[in-house]
Amino acid sequence: MKIQNPEKNVPNIPEMNDRDFMNDVLGTEKYLTDSYSHAMNEASHQALYQDVSSIAKETQDCQRKLFNVMFQKGWYSFDQAQTQQLQQDYQKFSGYKNQLPNGGATMQ
């Protein structure tokens, strides 16, 4: 005798297409690169740090390739920044350098 729930409440949703799959994978890659960054910040052993760093670089490269493919197919887009807004943002953030030790000069 077969025992079965009499109601089948399976939602009727459309299947994922290539764009949906790639968008899901891209989101996962972004999450992984963020997680690897945290792991590198917490690594107390140099060899572990180097291993995680190497994996993070591979993951970041994969994320970038996915982005490029999605952008080429028109599946990933963004608005072009206006020149005036870029100049305003540059001025705003350039002013922040003065608030840093040594005026934002890099350490040697």
pLDDT greater than 90 at residue 98: no
pTM strictly above 0.75: no
Residue 47's pLDDT is 96
The answer to whether residue 71 scores a pLDDT higher than 90 is yes
- Assess whether pLDDT exceeds 70 at residue 35: yes
CB 26 within 8 A of CB 63: yes
Q: Can you tell me which residue has the tokens 């409440």?
A: 9
Could you tell me the pLDDT band of residue 80, with boundaries at 50, 70 and 90?
Answer: confident
Cβ distance 60 to 79 under 8 Å? no
